[in-house]
Structure 1
Amino acid sequence: MMNQNKTILITGCSSGIGLCAARGLRQRGYRVFATARKDGDVKNLSTEGFEAFRLDLADSHSIGVALDQVLQRSGGSLYALFNNGAYGQPGAVEDLSRAALREQFETNVFGTHELTSLVLPVMRKQGYGRIIQNSSVLGFAAMAYRGAYNSSKYALEGLSDTLRQELAGTGIFVSLVEPGPILSRFRDNAMTMYKKNIDRERSVHRQKYLSMEARLAKEGAAVPFTLGPEAVLKAVIHALESKRPKARYYVTFPTYLFGFLKRVLPDRALDELLRRVG
């Protein structure tokens, strides 16, 4: 199919990777259905000319309504789904309440899984489709004080690897994109969730939190090798247009480095390295 006949639904388009992907794919000729959780962001997307809908991954009703609207517009077909919407909940594992961990999984795992499961019958019927999951280097290399996010991305990778096997021969391909540090509002949103759910003053990790807060509040790139969201767009384009899309797309040098080190280092050595760079 030519790109102008290809429709794609993208979650988390308010800023960063999602917004960059929406703009870049539209320029490439795709018909982009852009979604966001907040009404104000949906309005901004509409003002920019996108077919935009409200979709909150933590709300099943919102997921169903948004997908119905997309399919009504597209005539019941959908070439691709880019599951980009997610956020990070910072904090030591022992400081995470059951509610905070559940909230992280509702968006990053359960909502993404629900939307994907609703889209798959459409793709099975038409005999083709692309599912692209925005994971993270933290989906295979865990770092301290990111336990909620680590575990949600590990879960997403497990579901995606399984789904890829189950869809073999259907014409539907599943790809994981695994970015390292990318310029976005990710740290701003993480700081909001940190303040909401973590009690620094009552934690044995108080001193670690002070340095973590400084990193989250830093303007611009907080760590070396940070790239713009265009780096992720490049991987998404390949996953959409290649006849044989990759199962995994590493994005940024840290992802390549940690992927290599995970294969060659003993767990204790890797743990020590990740503690130092975290």
Structure 2
Amino acid sequence: MTTSDILTSSNLLSDSALAPETATLNRRKILITGCSSGIGYYTAKQLRKDGHVVVAACRKSEDVERLMNEGLHSVRLDLDDSGSIVEGIQDTLVITGGELDVLINNGAYGQPGAIEDLSRAALEQQFSTNVFGTHELTTRLIKTLLASEYPRIIQISSVLGLVALRYRGAYVASKFALEGLTDTLRLELADTRIKVSLIEPGPIVSQFRKNAQTAFLTHIDAERSRHIDRYKRAIKRFDSEEKQPFTLPEDAVYQKINQAIQAKKPKPRYYVTKPTYLLGFYNTHSKLTGL
């Protein structure tokens, strides 16, 4: 999507968001990535209902068009493509009048498979989306965020950014990396107004399982792996509609995101779902006690 496409779109021209206005805790200018479905899509709609100016970024042009037809501001932004990131930022700032108060880095996917079955290409692709693209988008927007009165960077991480899980090594590694980058960024921005928070969900109702299946079939040669029996069971779970234990709806994540936006002193971390609370406590306790 080009800048001219945005300016000529009737549903954008009619929105008062194009006129610069002072940010408040109640009305913010927000960019959120990964909005084609799941947490990003739900959160974008809810934040818009709350009265915020929301720009929902998607990787595919058809998803951008669908969201715009639903009345949302939307831009194309592919985290694997630096050119797309630059253009997505430009299009976003046209919509927001050159301002941004909140960046929500939600775009990500999970690459399943045993470590020994992961090719270099599969691991690079996982990090390209979940770490490198997110990092580039964030660093390109820091100067813009510094001009906001209440700036926020909100990273959607995972319980698997706290603990490891078999056959999720690529995703675990990417989320551990995101956690480390985010904690360091928070320290480096401590002398500014920018507040940096991590949201760490456990199992959430979304398209995550479907997207993980696609990544698995693309990069893992299950038939030639010694893990074939476990892979077959995993494929059955991919095809199943059965929820994992303790699964919560997308709204549970949105509520924590909203807290991070509205709080004058947001927390460094927000846990979502019982597994995250339990494993987060265990992780902290084990570091303190060495057990």
Q: Please give the range of the TM-score, normalised by the shorter of the 2 chains.
A: over 0.9
Identical residues among aligned pairs (%): 54
Tell me what 1:237 maps to.
258
Structure 1 spans left out of the alignment, 5+ residues: 271-278
In structure 1, the residue matched to 2:144 is 122
Return the match for 1:82 from 104, 124, 135.
Answer: 104
Residue 131, structure 1, aligned to residue 153, structure 2: yes
Paired amino acid for 1:207:
D
Partners of 1:31 and 1:69 in 2: CA distance: 14
Secondary structure at the aligned position of 2:108 is classed as coil
Q: Alignment partner of 2:147: what SS?
A: helix
Q: Which residue of 2 aligns with 1:274?
A: none
Q: Which moved more, 1:88-97 or 1:204-213?
A: 204-213
Paired AA for residue 101 in structure 2: Y
Quote the offset at 1:218 in angstroms. Answer: 1.3
Q: Distance in 1 between matches of 2:286 and 2:136?
A: 36
Q: Does 1:105 align with 2:146?
A: no
Q: State the distance in 2 between where 1:90 and 1:254 align.
A: 19
- 1:249 lines up with 2:264 in the alignment: no
Q: For the residues of structure 1 that align with 2:201 and 2:150, how far apart are their CA atoms?
A: 26
Amino acid at match of 1:155: A
Structure 1: distance between partners of 2:56 and 2:38? 13
Alignment of 1:26-105 (within 5 A): 26-105=48-127
Shift of 1:262: 2.3
Q: Is the 8 A contact 1:127 1:170 kept in 2?
A: no
What amino acid does structure 1 have at the position aligned with 2:264? K
The 5-angstrom pairing of residues 134-173 of structure 1 reads: 134-173=156-195
Q: Paired residue for 2:215?
A: 193
CA distance in 2, matches of 1:105, 1:127: 32
* Deviation (angstroms), 1:263: 3.3
Decide whether the 8 Å contact of 1:3 with 1:30 is kept in 2.
no
The one-letter code sitting in structure 2 at the alignment partner of 1:136 is S
Q: C-alpha displacement at 1:3, in angstroms? A: 5.5
Q: Output one character per residue of 1:4-46: Cα deviation in whole Å (capped at 9) or x when no partner.
A: 6410000000111001110110111100000111111111100
1:275 aligns with none
Contact 2:101 2:148 in 1 (8 A): no
- Counterpart selection for 1:262 from 283, 286, 290: 283
Work out whether residues 15 and 184 of structure 1, in 8 Å CA contact, stay in contact via their aligned partners in 2.
yes
CA contact (8 A) 1:175 1:246 kept: yes
Given the two structures, how large is their TM-score scaled by the length of structure 1?
0.93
Task: Assess, with a 3 A threshold, how the Cα gap between structure 1 residues 166 and 160 changes in structure 2: closer, same or farther.
Answer: same
Aligned length: 267
Q: 1:173-212 residue pairs with structure 2 within 5 A?
A: 173-212=195-234
Shift of 1:73: 2.0
- The answer to whether the 8 A contact 2:24-2:150 is kept is no
Structure 1 ranges of 4+ moved more than 3 A: 1-5, 125-128, 263-266
Distance 2:286 2:28 in 1: 43
Partner of 1:218: 240
Residue 248 of structure 2 aligns to which amino acid in structure 1? L
In the alignment, is the contact (CA less than 8 A) between 1:128 and 1:170 conserved in 2?
no
Per-residue deviation, 1:265? 5.1
Q: TM-score, normalised by structure 2?
A: 0.89
* Alpha-carbon distance between aligned partners in 1 of 2:129 and 2:237, rounded to the nearest angstrom: 24
Unaligned runs of 5+ in 2: 1-22
What is the distance in 2 between the residues matched to 1:125 and 1:230?
30
2: CA distance, partners of 1:234 / 1:77 = 24
Question: Could you tell me how far apart the structure 2 residues matched to 1:94 and 1:192 are?
Answer: 19
What's the Cα RMSD here?
Answer: 1.6
Partner Cα distance (1:173, 1:164) in 2: 7
**Greater Cα shift, 119-128 or 196-205:** 119-128
